[in-house]
Structure 1
Amino acid sequence: MSHSMVSATQIKKWTREEVHQWLTTQVNIHHIYADKLLEEEVSGEDLEYFQKKDLLDLNIKHGPAVKIVSMLEDLKSGLQHKSQFPAYIKKWTQEQVCQWLREEAKVYHQYVKRLLEEEVSGDCLFCFKKNDLVELGIKHGPAVKIIGMLEKLNNGPEPILQPPTNINSDQENLQKPPENQVELCQALPVQTVSPMKTEANTEEPRIVEPSGKTVTRKKEEPKPQAMGAEMLPSKMPSSLTLLQNTLDDLQQDEFKRFKSCLKDFKLNGCRSIARCHLENNMSRTDIADSMTKHYEEETLNVTLKILQRIRHNELAGQLKSEMGLQTMTAQDGKKYLRRETNQGNKLKNLLTYGGNMMDYYDRFVIVMNKSRAEQLEYLQFLTKLKLFCVLDFDPDSAAPGGVCSSYRESRVANLHLPAQFQPDPSVVIKNLNLYKQTSWVFCNGRHDLESESGRQLDYKDWFKEKRKEIEHMVSFICKPEVLPNGRTLVIFLLLSPVTDRDPIFDTFLAFYSHVEESIVSICESRSTFEKWKDLIQEKCEYDINTQSIYELTLSEVNGTIMSLGPHNQPSGRLLPSSDSSTVVLQQKDEDRLTALDILCQNQCEKVYEENSTEFQDFKIKVEKEFYRGGKVQWWNFYFCEKRKAKPFIRRDKYDNLIKIVKCQTKDPKTTCVLLNLFHHPGCGGTTLAMHVMWDLRREFRCAVLKDNTLPKSEVAFQVKKLMRLGKSDKSQNTPVLLLVDDSKEAENTQTLQDCIRKIVEEDYTGRTVEDSSNSQVIILSCVRSHNPKVQYKHCATESQYISAILTKKEQDDFEEKLVELKESHEKPENFYSFMIMKSNFDKKYIADVVSHTLKDLDMSTKKAQLLFYFALLNSYVAESDISVSLCEDFFGMKMAYWGEDNVLERMEPYSNLLKIVRR
């Protein structure tokens, strides 16, 4: 029965086994791919909805995927496939396709290799359209040319293509349907064959014909084809193909030296090739043909020895590796196919440092190469990572359909070049807005620009002109003062195959010399990983296997990373708006407000699964950091708000301060009001101010100023943007409560007040006084002072103060809190910051703690020496600090994955006197 007689209704009725049979007997794809669909329980009803990307997600190569989709559409339409190309193309092998592309179509070598990698044989190419080529990373120009030249074959004789030197009957058998083949729609259900069937299980499948007669068919056993990260290529390239690829990789001067050596090369008494066959005008293809005919099976060995003679060791190593694959035994093949299990857990461990949440690494650096259009939907995880920068080797990334363009649809990224990362770190950080917004660095051209800087360079020119810039940029990124050692993870995201002479490999070497232990590789396929691994092994003698992901599809990588906490809130981050409404704070808007740490009305809600062990561990960690003296986080208020019986300690001035803030909105006289909170250092002034903000977050749009050194005009502009988010020109504004912390000079805050007042009132020129007064900003300025009460008395503006003296009620509250902490924490008595406040800042208590802790101090140890450095610094400059990376260097610490070694543990038993502050 012909295909045209199979209707879409009949397809729906196919069992999983019948789908498997159709794929192996009608479509003629390798049984490994058919087995994959059988494993994934794809029935006819499921198959009807499959698109090409669904097959690619199953690690089926592009060529077979196009063929499956094309034949499926033919079945559903009930028509024979009408191709624009001559039918004889269907007989071409993968090598003959490559030969035609290289010799007739004159296609760039890298594109030919790409089609070979994706297993595009003639019967697959027969179904191709232009978009199928473009999705393989082939530019539109060559793609149109390939389709056009295939169509022109209808008007001329069939080209004569040389058969590959190592063609085997398996490939031919795969192309031809077996004899006595029964059409699928005639067959009854087939005996199920396990996709994991071993060699020992040799029972041949049987099919029952309608007559009831059982026909035993000899099982076809073609060589395994590549299935993404799982299997070997269907057929290794022939000696001729390997030779041609190798010669194509030689620069012009290198090719001349190769020919010069070839003229005098002799092998085991065999004379060299006649000089008349090696004329200067001979092409690389001609040289390859001559060598193959003259040296026969020794051709590749001759090539290898000549490459070594002209000192092209990288290309020699690549050829040697490919020759080894070409001669693999069946036993070697089995070893090659062995999968590493649990790569999902491995990925989680690599990104979380052995935890369950991505809160260990402060920043991520991504280095990526050329992407394909179908990969974009699986790169959503980039928006979740706290990116410091992305080093992008795809010159089309910023254009529509590129990774950078896609990222910028939801996040902010500033586009840079490597040369901008020098010389002075402080200047670079300020000019490029580093830390605040992602830096997207184009490392080899940018095609959306018409300038010279946007031109993509070949490897030779890139190496001469750009390599040094990359090395300087990597050196800048790896400075401890830029990104602390051990707190940054560098991820090489390989979305396409790599080559021996590849700029991204040079970039790896640059990072490797600085942060060997902090590099992870995520590869789009196992074949890409094997090549990447071999390059690194040969150059660095370093095995990257333990820090690499290659068995997972990009879809699985994306899903795994997106599943890691903390999670984005399902309803979005919400801001209060007029008339008791709310608006969603878009991530891109928040990225732009770099000066502000915004407190949303649903802050901390639904970020974690709160019944999980991970959340409880996180809660204990955050509380411990705070009570040991760390800065208060919004989480501290959230934890107490969820447990009404155990509220956050309210300082005595809490009620007064919250009343003052609320009063400013009842009868506003100006668009910006300044409130001062004077406080002794370390007595909880900032905590009190943030406590007030937390409880007013549903009435005000609240934010904390991150950096007091920013230009006041820029801060004022961002405050106005926060006020206007989600509103029309006519809607009433919601007041903004802005916390300015650690303000030491009142004049700076007054300057900010003037700037905010000016920029807000400019928007309301010509409107009523009521309109402008409704656009109100309240600045709550926390001012450190050694005499807060005195400053409070002499302050002309609204103000409050707190000192390092607790009231009786506050002391009672601290006693109750200590009882509560003993229920959930070990040794809360070592939370010295909390205990000092509980003691009402008693100097005798502080002296006793220090005396007891330092009782057996041994000055010969490094921990004692480091403690003395801290004490010396703080005696001159209060709250001085030393970077963690310098402390690690002092101890000679080396990062190890999933290790517990850190500075505080090295400082035991004195660690309770120290705290780590993350900026």
Structure 2
Amino acid sequence: MATSRHSEKNEGKTALSSERPVDIGDWNSEHVRQWMLEIQMDIKDADMLYNQGLNGAGLLHLKEANRLMQNLPSNAKELIFQNIDSLKETTQELNDMVAQSCSLKPYPFNRYDATYRDGSSSKLEDYDKYIANNPRLSQERKDAEEKHLSVVKIHAHGSALCEMITGGTHSMNRSRFTSYIVVANKSHPVQLKNLKFLLGMNLMAVLDFDPQSAENGLNKLLKEEKMFNDHLPAQYKDTGAVEDIASSLELTKKTSWVFCNGGINGETPSGADNWLTEKGSSVRDVVSFLCQKVLPRKKLLVIFLLFSQVSKASDPLLQTFSMFLQELMGQNQILCISDNETSHTYWIDLIKQQHACDTSKCIYELSFAEINGTILSLWSEIGKLIRFLPCSGGSKVVLSKKTEESLHMLSILCVNQCDGGHQDKQLHDENFYKGGKASWWNFYYSEQPGSASVIKRDKLDYIVDAIIPNMLNQKRACVFFNIFHAQGWGGTTLAMHVLWTLKEKFRCAVLKDTTDDFTTAAKQVVELLTYETKEQPTRLPVLLMTDHFQDIRNVLTLQHQIEDECLNQYIFSKSPQVIIVNCMRVDSCEPTEGTGDAVCLPHYLSERELELFREKLEEFKKNNKSTETFYVSMVVKNFSSDYIQGVVKNTLKDFNFQHKHAQLFAVLVLLHVYSKNALLSVSTCEEFLGLQTGAESCRVEDAFEKLSSLLKRCTVFSKVTFEVMRVIHPSVAHHCLEELSASHGVTKAQIANLLLTTDLFYENTLEKQKFMQHVKDMLMKSQYSAKHDNVFSRLIQDIMKETPGMEDTVLLNAAECLREK
């Protein structure tokens, strides 16, 4: 009553329905839709905002630049902003009235100092009601607190679409349907961006009900890339032999684009109420001709694309559906596609009013971006040209080249990674098992028949089946778990294997390098999360691998930045939207150290893993490969110190420090032992060795001759991306340094002086300042321990032990080098 009296008193202000909560912030999407219809907003615009999940809280914070407003016509925007201020004013007055009335109620309703009678008063009755209502009020409060969280709605429309459009083969190349007919109404420009899937299909005909299609619609879009014949329905009139009509229309040569409601050759459009009498007969001729006389019925699929909402029984699209239903004698060969549930509901309700048929062959929970990507991914040859990201329900979207390049801090793993490509399997295998970093090609070849390119570690199933599901049960937007591992024991490869295994269930990416710009990294991660899914109620989480952080605080900072960015993008969820797989190198790690959010890889292999590595080693030996310096050989020997020492001694037996490649090798060894982050680029190595940069005739590995077996080429992703040369494993580097001194008289002081007096190392080094800082730390950073309080770095201490007195020369050279640079 109070609400209605207030409405009468404030005549002319925006109405506030008594069926809606007083507080606008408590409105759900349906409440907002009712209000928009009350202010005379067009039902299509109201439904569009409803489908995008606009609730009361969102309405209060709506701005002109908001993404929800971008697709609204200007008159709709104006209508909203004209009425929203008076809506807020009305709500405030109601809140004031409620607050005033509440203040007059007896205890416990905020009146502590009043005196009142005990006898026949209602104190106990009110108190009992208050206590009785507490559970209900608590539940309502809980529901209100959670109402902004996205509701996880499980669907499988992506998989269903693959099944329906191919007739069960899940491949467009082997589809059971040889021909397709598309029936479409008026489209929106946003929908037109994602219809490339139509170009690859064998479209016998398109029945277009948009009169403006040739000017700015579907016809204009597709004609830019494919040839069509424009026809009017009257041209299908059965006045002669079927072969003659089909020949004149060129039905077997080009797609027939039939304008079923005018738009070409001066044909005027008909309204929905008049279309059946004015044009229905000629369109029936088209349907009958195509279904009965030209196309093999069982090999035909008719696809209704519901771009616009069909809300009347007289709508031409509904009438045409009835025609196809009759001609095909059922709906098994009719697929209906829309991009929102409201349109689907209207469509199905209208069909059920006229026909008693199964309406399950419909797709409505996917956006057209997801529909486009899912169908394109069913073509085998597309994998070479287009990359796809997974979406919920088994659907996919196309990852545009422009978007991928804009996410420059991420290396994105797509659903069809490596599909359709051809690279040398043996070359990738050798590079990996000589100590190089695993590539996605290694995992791709592991799934092909024959030998496995990557050995499956024991911890993989535990991470995929236990840790990840446990992460998904947490309640915050971004969560992480750690893979602790000693350097060279496969932690990075294991993390990559996790991403590869889950690439269809998550959007997977690798953070390319360490960064201080956590804000930009978080924005790019959330952009990957929301790419082509901003209007969808559910999203697949991002599985993000990080491999370069040395401090767990950096991971926590990234986690918080991602959560802040989710809030900035109005992303609320009951489950994690981003899971970080953080690889962290440690000096030692035992499996007993693992917890629910961490995995520890020990520095030894299980019996099962060891056997698999032995089999891989035998495979290389069968191919007549010299495997002594292969990384896999060292793995099989569990990096035995004696074995590595023997390999190093044999490889360095002809070492000559007077040769340029030997000098460079010694510098790389020294850097690896004392400053693993100080890296020399391939281009710097090439220039030092006098090679033509980038020349194919002589790779830098070839210039190192026999020493190349102990080196590997790696890619560094940082502010710039470049390749570097480094020793294959820390144990190898330590043994090399010892062997150079013991057998060849090359001291650490000699190598350090070479590093400090060669200007080339600093002039041409990418990320020069970072390299110089690492060199400075290597020489100047003091090392402290419980037993000794040393003022010198570990390198200087070792030089003092090996060649007493030479530390002065090294430090003088260091001061000179670092001062000049």
Task: State the TM-score, normalized to the length of structure 2.
Answer: 0.39
Task: State the TM-score, normalized to the length of structure 1.
Answer: 0.35
